Amino acid sequence: MAMMIRIRSRDGLERVTIENPNNATIADLKALIENQLGVPISIQALSKDQNLLLARTLDERIRFSDMANSQALVSWLGVSHGSVVFLGYEGEGERFVAGPEVTPAGSFGRKMTVDDLIKRDCVNESLSFAAKGGGFRYEEDLMEAIAVGLGKLKIGAKF
């Protein structure tokens, strides 16, 4: 049974899947991170301590040694399915992390873009404008506002 581990770096949260979790070592995890996330093993620093993300230099990263032994089994370190492992590396923020692809799923549950929202808002506005007497009431309200501003009173439909 495969084990999914969440990898948190300054670039965001990503997932790595270990196919054989019973025999997986830290070296295997680092190799998977290199293959799936594109971070070379030589610059990786792994830890279960989130303060690793605050470390800026190599000297600061070396202090986080809980996952420094490459031969240690991942399960020995308390890493299980769904665990978060923190990743620090040189040149953080230079990688591009792709977000999930948006695909339409019908009228319900469909992801909407800003353009879709604007289109719907414009349609709703035009429908409400048309539904109120062909827009006459909007014009009438505008005329009343202008008349009040000029100090005139409305008597009937004319001023």
pLDDT of amino acid 159: 46
pLDDT of amino acid 104: 56
Q: Which of 22-36, 64-78, 123-137 has the lowest mean pLDDT?
A: 123-137
**92-to-12, 67, 85, 115 alpha-carbon distances in Å:** 10, 19, 16, 33
Which range of 29-33, 95-99, 126-130, 153-157 scores highest in mean pLDDT? It is 29-33
Average pLDDT, the chain: 75
What is the architecture, at CATH level 2, of domain 3-89?
A: Roll (3.10)
Within the chain, all domains assigned CATH 3.10.20.90 are found at 3-89
